[in-house]
Structure formats: structure tokens, C-alpha cells
Chain A
Amino acid sequence: MSRIQARFEALKAEGRGALIPYLQAYDPDLETSLALLKAMPEAGADIIEVGVPFSDPSADGPTIQLAAQRGLKAGATLAGVLEMVQRFREHDQSTPIVLMGYLNPIHTYGADAFCRDAAQAGVDGVILVDLPTEEAQWLRPHAEAHGLDIIALVAPNTTHERLVHVLREASGFVYYVSITGITGTASASAEQLAAAVPKVKAVTSVPVAIGFGISTPEQARVASQIGDAAVVASTLIRTLAGTLVDGKATGQTVPAVTQQISALAAAVRGV
């Protein structure tokens, strides 16, 4: 059983959904983001999304765009991100890690080489914003061969027919993009989620994570109950960015983000 599957089954037994915080690798530097990554499970992360910095993040709002720029300035490469995950795995064998990003760095690395090296480093899945089902065959056979989940994305404007088409080969979990828009901007209401998410769950048996626009503990609680997980990203990046001085990490950087994750986790765990 994959780490992602195992984690969702364990949480199901606990009767709650997952909290999936996000960090951008190398933001603002490798050692700080690795320290944050290592601190996340303790703070309450059930699964972690690691953003791979890209020069042209066309689905992201200003907060994550700036994080990507900081990461690239700090020397982020895809190989470097994989090494970072490998260093995390030396301490943590059970928390699933999912890479999130854009196709071109992986295209450059090569489909098979990437899937092999990512699996070896301890990556469990990939979310590629600009790789829709129609083009996923480029990656899928290699991902399957190395046991990597390609996390499917669906959106509020995905029709029933497309849901069936897109989720036919879903594995790991499904990422429900809860708004039509970019990251860190608008939010879906609880009513909108309650209306939309069951339609997704009706066509797939894999867990559904809800992301885009989730920033408060209450929103995370609601999303993790309506779906199976809540992804929280831009608000954590804003917190991180707020601790930087001249773009550099301070003693506050890791604690400020982990405190926020703890508050989100408490809400998701109902404590």
C-alpha cells in the first residue's frame, strides 16, 4: 500500500480528514525550507505538498509567484528539490510528500528519469498544473512503473462527462480546485463545496482534497469534512514572507509557519 493510501485509511479510522500544508521548496533558502518541511508533521501536517519553483507559474497568484522567485533566486532546481525530499525521508518514513508544480522542469529532466529519481527520493505523488488528462500519457506509464501517483485536478467547471474521463485513472487522491481562478485569491463557500464535492466523489473512490482559497482554520475544518482533505498554501506563504528581513529567513520564519499549521490542524482534528 502506498504512503498516501495508508495515510488516508488511518485518518478514516480516526474519523477525520487530512490537513495538507504547502511550502515552496528553497523559499527563502534550502536549509530554512528543509527545516520547515521537517517540522510540519509535528505541527499537524498529514500530507505535505512541496512546490517546485517555476519561472512562469501561470496558475498562481502573486503570493506563490513571489515564493517561486525567491526559491529560484536561492538556487532551486528540480534535482535540488528531490534531494531535499530525500533528506526529509531520513527522518520521516510515513508522511506522504506530493510535489506540485509545472511540467517544463520535469519535461527537461525526462519522464522516466524523473519518476525513478522522485520515487527513490521518497516522493509519493505529483500534481502538475499544466498536464491535463489529454497529455498525461507522456508521464503516466513511467509514474506507474515507479509507483508514483499522478494526482488528477478537477475544477468547478468540470462537467460530469469530463469528471468521468479525468478520474478514470485517478490514484492517490483527487485535487478539487475549489474556485475558477488562481491560487490565494477567492474562496468557495461551504455551501458551494457541499454542492460540488459530492459530484466528484460520486465518480471516484479515491479521496478528494480541496484546495485554492483555504486560509482559516474554520475553512480548513469545513473542507476536510466535506472532502477528505484540505490543502492550505498561500496563507502559509504569506506568513513566511512576513517574517523575512531583506528577503532572508529569521528566527521567526519556521516557528511562525508551524504555529499557523498547528492552529489549522487543531481545527481539522476538532480539538
Chain B
Amino acid sequence: MSASSTATPAQVTLPNSLRSGPDGRGWFGEFGGRFVAETLMPLILELEEAYRAAQADPSFQKELAFYYKDYVGRPSPLWFARRLTESLGGAKIYLKREELNHTGSHKLNNVMGQILVARRMGKTRIVAETGAGQHGVATATVCALFGLKCTVYMGATDVERQKPNVFRMNLLGAEVRPVTAGAGTLKDAMNEAMRDWVANVEDTYFLVGTVAGPHPYPEMVRDFQSVIGTETKAQILEAEGRLPDAIVAAIGGGSNAMGIFHPFLDDVDVKLIGAEAAGLGLDSGKTAASVSRGRPGVLHGNRTYLLQNADGQIDEAHSISAGLDYPGIGPEHSWLNDIGRVEYVGVTDQEALEAFQLCSRQEGILPALESAHALAHVIKIAPTMGKDQIIVMNLSGRGDKDIFTVAKHVGVEL
């Protein structure tokens, strides 16, 4: 039986449902698990217990609903992108406006849920890893709201290319610790956050930002992000009277994608497409496309698709988008790939940059570079589809944080 929110009868899943994972040990097929040091085992077992108790507690669900509505600003709109649809000349394109959430991305959905769990557990200090800084900003924000100590680990390379978010976190009272190990990106920040957690087991809660890590994180983060897909379903039914033909979302670790996909997993007529960051190209050796160019391995607590060399050393990922610059992917995605339920495609840096600019000019929305990867794929497939068909794209974040990166690539000095 799924551990996903079982509060309402509509969400009860069938035994043969694709929504019933993971199993009791945290596995989605051959992916997932709990590959952590023994020092961390008591912590994740305690977390699992606390999460189960929260799920079963109506007052927790009520509290979460309150914060989603009045603090995060949910529900987020489903916007019919008329100009984009007309210029591409094919399927109708809807954008799920997660960038309108407080702090500007879908990340707050998960952070809000996990911090309410952490508070139930009596934790007083939060550590988090961040790539683009969106998860770090969301974490710092909710820590400020509840008066919790907050330490965010961020790769030194990312600190450099996401300066506005670093300053934002500082303003919110968080301490940002740059990580110089490795290439100084998201995986190194993840390693360092785990080192902090293992050294501060008493008071510290590790707030994982994506649907990866040891069980129960992939499941828990998915459940909190599933609010995206649940709303989308109701909104598209209201707008169009039917489900979409395709849903497209960008994939780094995969939390915004998992959030919008999960409520649709059993709707087999809805095609689900994850856009991985191909970087300079899938075969360039400079990519972050873990499913397309990786193979199963074990890192950061779970078995999943990883970019790695022949000896099992983890490769550095590459993407123009700091939020997608990670050599792994959540284990549920690995499973959905292997069973063929979700299609994973690669989108290059260049394609994402073009999509970023198109969306800005035609819809008046600056998308995050992460989300621009999904949009680039929409741009590819919409013209091949009929005008009576519908695509929903998860516009997971806003692009204000990326203007420096984009300016550099189009040759403008700010």
C-alpha cells in the first residue's frame, strides 16, 4: 500500500497501481534502498517513523494545507500559453505556474512539508544542500519563518554562478558554506551536507531537496511535491474537460517532475516526458543526463542511474543550469524509465537558452533555466501534435536568478 497521502479516498491506490511504490524497504523495483553509514541508520529509521505518524495525523495535513495556501500561495495557476501555442502551431500548451510560489520555485512545497516533520521530531537545526540555490533559498525561508538554525552547503562553483541566491539566503539568516571538494557543484554539496548530518545527529535535520537519498526521502519528497500534479489534474479537467496528452518536466534529481507525474502514473493515455540536461550534448562527455547516459549504481543513499566511469567512480555532471547539474536521479525515475512509463529525453544548454528567450518574449515569463529545458522539449514536440491535443509543462521556477548566466551566453555584460 502506498504511503502517499492517504487522507482522502480519491487518493487510495490499487494494489497493481504504479503509484504504490516504494515497498516497505524503500525500493522501487531495483532502485532506491537505504545505503547509508550505520551512524545515519537510526536517524532515517526515526524519520520514517515520524513521517508515517505525520501522514496518519489529520492535524498535520491540516497544518500543511494551511501553509501551502497562505504562505506558499497555492494553488498555483495553470496558464494557457496562447502566444506560444499559436507560434508553434500545434498542441495547446499549458504552463503549471510553480514559479509563482513564494521564493519562486516548486522547492518550497517540499521544504514546507519536511520542516513541519522536523518540528514534530523536535529538531532545532536544519542542514540542506543546494545547486542553483532554489532549494537553499526555500529552506532558509522556512527556517526564518520558524526560527530554526539553518546551514546550507553549496558548491563553490555554484556559489559563484548563483550569487543572488547566496545573498538571498544570507538575508534570510542562513549560513551558506561553500564546498570546494570535487568540482564544487551539487554532488559535492550533498557529500558535505551528509558529513555535517553524521556529525550532528542529535539536533540536526537533513532537508533533502529532491526525490533522492535514502528511504524515506524519495517517497516523502514526492508526496509533498505531488500537490503539483494533483492540482494540475483538477485544473486541466476544469479548463478542457479531459486529461492532457502529454506532460513535460525538467529533471535534475527529479522532484518537480515526480511531483507533476505521480498523480498521472495510472492514467496510461497521458504521455509523461522528463527532460534531462544534456549539457553540451548527450555524447559530448559534458552532460548531466543520468538516465540517458548513466547506468545503475549506488550514491548518496540510493541505488539509481548514475553518471560514472568504468570503475564506478562518479563523473562530474555538466549543465548550464546549476539545478540540473547532478550525476544522479531519483530512484523512482530510474524505475519509471525501466518499465517504460516515462520517457527521458536530453535537452542541450543551447536549446534551453533559446527556450528561455522565447518564453520571455512570447509569454512575458522568465523561466528558470531548469524549466527552460522542459520548454525546449515542448518546442520540439508541440508542432508535431494536432491542434486538438494538449501539453502541460511544469514551469518549476522563475528565471530572475539566471539572468547573469543568460547574459554571459548571449554576450551581454551586466
A-side residues, CB < 8 A to B, are 54-62, 65, 72, 77-79, 102-109, 129-135, 152-155, 157-159, 162, 166, 177, 180-182, 185-186
- Mark out the residues of chain B between 28 and 52 whose CB falls within 8 Å of any chain A CB in the assembled complex: 33-39, 41-42
A107 contact set on B, CB distance < 8 A: 296-298, 303, 312
Q: Is A58 touching B38 in the complex (CB atoms < 8 A)?
A: no
- Counting CB contacts under 8 A, is B181 at the interface? yes
Can you give 26 A-B contacts (C-beta < 8 A)? A55-B314, A56-B182, A58-B194, A58-B195, A59-B37, A59-B194, A62-B181, A72-B313, A104-B313, A105-B312, A108-B310, A108-B311, A109-B312, A130-B36, A131-B35, A132-B36, A132-B37, A134-B25, A135-B34, A153-B37, A153-B38, A155-B39, A158-B41, A166-B38, A177-B37, A180-B201
| Chain A-chain B contacts (Cβ-Cβ < 8 Å), number | 110
Q: Which A residues are in CB contact (< 8 Å) with B303?
A: 107
- Contacts A107-B303, A155-B39 given; 20 further ones with Cβ under 8 A? A56-B191, A59-B39, A59-B198, A60-B195, A65-B181, A103-B35, A104-B299, A104-B306, A105-B312, A105-B313, A132-B38, A133-B38, A155-B37, A157-B39, A159-B42, A177-B39, A180-B39, A181-B39, A182-B198, A185-B199
Q: A-B pairs with the 9 shortest C-beta distances?
A: A108-B312, A105-B312, A181-B199, A155-B39, A55-B313, A58-B191, A104-B312, A77-B311, A153-B38
- Given the interface contacts A104-B314, A135-B34, A153-B37, does A130 sit within 8 Å of B199 by beta carbon? no
B328 smallest CB distance to A (angstroms)? 10
Distance in angstroms between the alpha carbons of A199 and B4 in the assembled complex? 39
A154–B33 contact, CB under 8 A? no
Bound form: Cα–Cα A155–B199 in Å: 12
Indicate whether B162 reaches chain A with its CB closer than 8 angstroms: no
Interface residues on B, range: 35 or more
Assembled-state Cα–Cα distance A102/B308 (Å)? 14
How far in angstroms is the closest Cβ of chain A from B157? 16
| Most chain A beta carbons < 10 A, residue from B39, B198, B303, B310 | B39
Nearest A residue to B26 via CB reads A134
Is the beta-carbon distance between B312 and A134 smaller than 8 angstroms? no
- In Å, the complex CA distance between A185 and B35 comes to 23
Q: Across the interface, do B41 and A134 meet the contact criterion of CB distance under 8 Å?
A: yes
In the bound assembly, the distance between CA atoms of A177 and B40 in angstroms comes to: 12
> What residues on A are CB-neighbors of B42 within 8 Å?
157-159, 162
Chain B's closest residue to A129 (CB) is B37
- Determine which of B39, B200, B311 lies in contact with A105 in the assembled complex, contact meaning CB atoms within 8 Å: B311
How would residues 180 to 203 of chain B score, 1 for a CB under 8 Å from any chain A CB and 0 otherwise?
Answer: 011000010011001100111100
Q: Is the CB of A157 within 8 A of B313?
A: no
| CA of A55 to CA of B327, assembled, Å | 12
CA distance A230 to B301 in the complex (A): 28
B35/A155 in contact, CB under 8 A: no
- Within the complex, the shortest CB–CB distance from A190 to chain B, in Å, comes to 21
Alpha-carbon distance A103/B194, docked complex (angstroms): 16
- Residue of B38, B42, B296 with most partner-chain A CB within 10 A: B38
Once bound together, how far apart are the Cα atoms of A56 and B190, in whole Å?
10
Q: Is the CB of B38 within 8 A of A158?
A: yes
Q: How far is the CB of B125 from chain A (nearest CB, A)?
A: 14
Could you tell me which residues of chain B, from 304 to 327, have a CB within 8 Å of some CB in chain A? 306, 308, 310-314
Cα–Cα, bound, A133→B25 (Å): 12
